[in-house]
Amino acid sequence: MRLLLAAKRYCSASTSRGERSHVLDQVNEIGFRLTPANFQSITATAENSLKAVVFRRQATTRTFPEPDAAVKPPVSLPALAAWFDLDDQKGRLGFSGHFRKHLDHTVPYEFIFSDRDGTVIKFMKWLESTVKTAEGNELYKLLVRYGFSQQSGNSKSEFIRFDAPLTLLDRAIEFNRHTDLGKPLSGLYIAQAALSDLPHELQTDVPLPNLLTAPATPETPYVCDIYNSSLWLGLEPTFTPWHRDPNHNLFCQLAGSKKVRLLPPEAGSRVFRKVMENLGNPGASAAIRGEEMMHTTEREAWRDAVWGPGAPHFMLEATVNAGDMLFIPKGWWHSVRSTGGEMGALNVSVNWWFRWRNPTLSYRRS
């Protein structure tokens, strides 16, 4: 089957303060129903011909195909319907009763906050007054440990990581429903939580996509090796700085929307080196990106370099909505941020990192 990829020009309509509207090439899009064969024809080609691709509306909420379906759906993600409910008159998403059965499960959090932001203090006090658990005290101890002070005179942002139950995010969503409390809480993010670590009932809601499980046949000569998978779940705005992955990335949006800006390996590395030189760290490793990219100075440098007025005009951009998928080839540089929602709104994604392998040969396809 010959595949037609419709390339478009895209003008970003959602820009933060201090950003201008960039006209960028949008990542190629496919809107027809995928099969494992045409998915492999796009994603298992030679490395120098691989491109990022958006697959529109490929995910279904059903685990099994309809009785009259000739093929399995490309991606079955029951979580699209099972995890979320509209929880107030404004139509904002919250967790469903099904998801809330597992709120005691512990996950890795990231939290970005400003020490002049009174919302965090209001949230901690609200926790202490509305629920008889330790989340409020534990978060308070973390913030104090990292220098948070109601009396602080500067506006420095901080980044911390910690483990806590899903209950914490659920309570933050509840807090944000109380608009009379003022500015909603944001910056609380469950990042890179392994799908294999989730409770079994939640794992079954995000099964491995059928596109990645097809057996080797003449039409689908490659089999897929999964290297890892993750859940990304938090309160908007969310932001991941410029980085690259050592394996292909199939990224699926479950709730809210995200924008991704990308470049192929060589062009992306030039952007990386330029920013690191400007930060006075020209010898920084492009292969190993750690927590340092999330701290204030480097995080803001990446926000400006990739999303600000000076961002390269040759970058590619993709928007993924609930039910969409984005294929990011191995080694492609990218930055991700939430878009289209309101501060404190729920945004959720999952992804799988993988490589193709020809079972008749001893090497793996890059």
Q: Mean pLDDT score of the chain, rounded to an integer?
A: 81
Whether 244 is in a domain gets the answer yes
- Confirm if 214 and 319 have CB atoms less than 8 A apart: no
pLDDT at 3: 43
Residue 261 has pLDDT above 50, yes or no: yes
Whether 11 is in a domain gets the answer no
> Looking at residues 81-107, what average pLDDT do you find?
89
Question: Model confidence over 144-153: pLDDT tens digits?
Answer: 555 454 444 4
Whether 4 is in a domain gets the answer no
Encoded amino acid at 72, one letter: K
Question: Model confidence over 13-58: pLDDT tens digits?
Answer: 334 444 445 577 899 999 888 899 999 999 998 888 899 999 998 8
Residue 340 has pLDDT above 50, yes or no: yes
Residue 133 has pLDDT above 60, yes or no: no
Whether 1 is in a domain gets the answer no
Whether 26 is in a domain gets the answer yes
User: Which range marks the domain in which residue 160 is found?
Assistant: 17-365
Whether 6 is in a domain gets the answer no
Q: How crowded is the C-beta side of 264, counted as CA atoms within 13 Å?
A: 7
Alpha-helix residue ranges (DSSP H) falling in the chain: 36-43, 79-82, 97-100, 118-130, 135-145, 167-177, 200-203, 265-278, 296-307
The CATH number given to whatever domain includes residue 152 is 2.60.120.650
DSSP 222: -
> Looking at residues 244-260, what average pLDDT do you find?
96
> Looking at residues 205-229, what average pLDDT do you find?
93
Contacts of 336 (CB under 8 A, 6+ apart): 238, 239, 240, 258, 259, 260
pTM value is 0.85
Whether 271 is in a domain gets the answer yes
Q: How many domains does the chain have?
A: 1
209 preceded by a cis bond (ω within 30 of 0): no
Residue 362 has pLDDT above 60, yes or no: no
